[in-house]
A = this chain, B = another copy of it.
Amino acid sequence: MSNLSDCPKEECGVLGISTAGKDAARIGFFGLYALQHRGQEAAGIAVSDGRAIRVHKSQGLVSQVFDNEKLAPLVGSLGIGHTRYSTTGSNSDRNVQPYVVETMHGPMAVAHNGNLVNADQLRSKLLERGAGLQSSSDSEVLALMLAAAEGASWEERLASVMPQWQGAFSLVVLCAGKVIATRDPWGFRPLSMGRLASGGHVVASETGALQTVGCDNIREIDPGEIVVLSGQLARSHQGMKPSSTQARCTFEHIYFSRPDAFWDSMSIHQVRQRLGAELAREHPVEADIVMPVPDSSMPAAIGYAAESRITYTEGFVKNRYIGRTFIEPTDELRRQGVALKFNTLPENLFGKRVVMVDDSIVRGTTAGPLVRLLRDAGAAEVHVRVTCPPIAHPCFFGVDMGTHDELIAHQLGVPEIANHIGADSLGYLSLEQMMVAIGREDGYCNACFTGSYPVPVQLSLMSSKQRFDGVLG
């Protein structure tokens, strides 16, 4: 369902489980279910019973990929899981994670979230060594480098190859007897761990997934930290020193993470309310109602309304049945007003001066039609407020925001964008006030706003989006 869809795409949610019992796969299922928003294209779980690793993975939603029959053979107390966003059209079965290999040290599985900026060089090195690569996924590169690394244990091998990996990776590794988890030294992508009441531990991309599976004692895994889960124990050491440049992804606050997640020890829902409140202070406007673009902008709109003392209500109704449909309104139908995703609430809007709060504008394809819908429903004025600065630069650390050419803020200034989307006024939250709302002065990657990448990005990467997928259809 792509019409009126202008969201950045995150590539993954990851999960690692070590339980006292045998039901790692079942806990994995519920954890992935809570990470579904981080990747709706594919899902997989690999488990170990201490000897063998078994995996089930496939394209589709978590609830489509797994049923009781599929979970039944996945017996074991250790497991890792993955949800994936992938580009459509390509036969990407081979890229679905977790990625499982037999190595000289026994079976191993890998799943990760993020993107290496030096993957091309790493692939080339592997190929030159005589390897055969079966996918275009960074996971395979990580796995094959681990398989060939120096070290007496998987955690030692991990520590020995990590320094070669440039970019974002929140990684989980499953071997016969343990689960290992780590984050890149910059800390781009989130990864947290918690303790299961019934014994054992879980690591997950978002704390909400840990809450879903019943964890307490939840804490973030540090950049460069290596956590080893085995039985009921969790050991930890610093595999690499954290980079002097810390680079958490601001967009986890703005859009990606579910509002029940904590990121940098802060409640996402509260950060978003504060982003709304700062936005109200920085871009106030005389209006009758404040309304969100559902669903992700709700907390920010609540915050804007509370700060501005303007009435909060809803102006859009969103169709909740977001199963993928391949049927789109024809242009003819669209001209006739057929809209698949949003309807308006004219009684709430008629004659009103409206503040429409949106979390971000990426390609600029959604905001215009939404403003028009509000006007068609009788809104007297439409003031668009955005909870982050203009996005003018692509992300190379795991978020598919599109290329420079596709980013509207790379092409147009704010007044032109306001004009383009037909808003009476348009206010982006400034970088400074955004960081005030977040409550930090630095430690974040704001490259998509500033173009200042915390890790050097090769020019070749900046000009080409697709690396390898053409070669192996």
Which A residues fall within an 8 A CB radius of B? 23, 26-27, 29-30, 33-34, 36-37, 40, 51-56, 61-64, 66-68, 71, 73, 91, 100-104, 106-108, 123-124, 127-134, 143-144, 147-149, 196-198, 208, 211-215, 258-260, 267, 269-270, 273, 295, 298-299, 302, 305-306, 311-314, 317, 319-327, 329-330, 332-333, 336-340, 343-348, 468, 470-473
Contacts of A130 in B (CB 8 A): 104, 129, 144, 147-149
Q: Across the interface, do B319 and A299 meet the contact criterion of CB distance under 8 Å?
A: no
Knowing A102-B471, A326-B68 are in contact, say whether A321-B62 is a contact too (CB < 8 A): yes
| Selected contact of A473 from candidates B54, B148, B270, B347, CB within 8 Å | B54
Q: In the bound complex, what is the Cα–Cα distance between A311 and B336 (angstroms)?
A: 40
CB distance from A136 to the nearest CB of B (A): 8
Q: Across the interface, do B27 and A333 meet the contact criterion of CB distance under 8 Å?
A: yes
| Selected contact of A260 from candidates B144, B317, B333, CB within 8 Å | B317
Contacts of A258 in B (CB 8 A): 317, 343
Knowing A61-B321, A302-B314, A338-B214 are in contact, say whether A34-B134 is a contact too (CB < 8 A): no
Q: A52-B473, A68-B327, A130-B149 are in contact. List 13 more A-B contacts (CB 8 A).
A: A30-B333, A33-B321, A61-B321, A102-B471, A103-B133, A107-B472, A129-B148, A131-B147, A211-B344, A259-B317, A298-B314, A302-B313, A302-B314
Q: Across the interface, do B132 and A102 meet the contact criterion of CB distance under 8 Å?
A: yes
Q: Across the interface, do B36 and A319 meet the contact criterion of CB distance under 8 Å?
A: yes
Contacts of A37 in B (CB 8 A): 320-321
> What secondary structure prevails in chain A residues at the interface with B?
mixed
Q: Across the interface, do A259 and B321 meet the contact criterion of CB distance under 8 Å?
A: no
Q: In the bound complex, what is the Cα–Cα distance between A130 and B108 (angstroms)?
A: 13
Q: Across the interface, do A131 and B107 meet the contact criterion of CB distance under 8 Å?
A: no
Contacts of A336 in B (CB 8 A): 196-198, 213-214
| Selected contact of A313 from candidates B64, B106, B273, CB within 8 Å | B273
| Selected contact of A259 from candidates B64, B314, B338, B472, CB within 8 Å | B314
Contacts of A473 in B (CB 8 A): 52-55, 73
| Selected contact of A53 from candidates B127, B313, B337, B472, CB within 8 Å | B472
Q: In the bound complex, what is the Cα–Cα distance between A101 and B215 (angstroms)?
A: 41
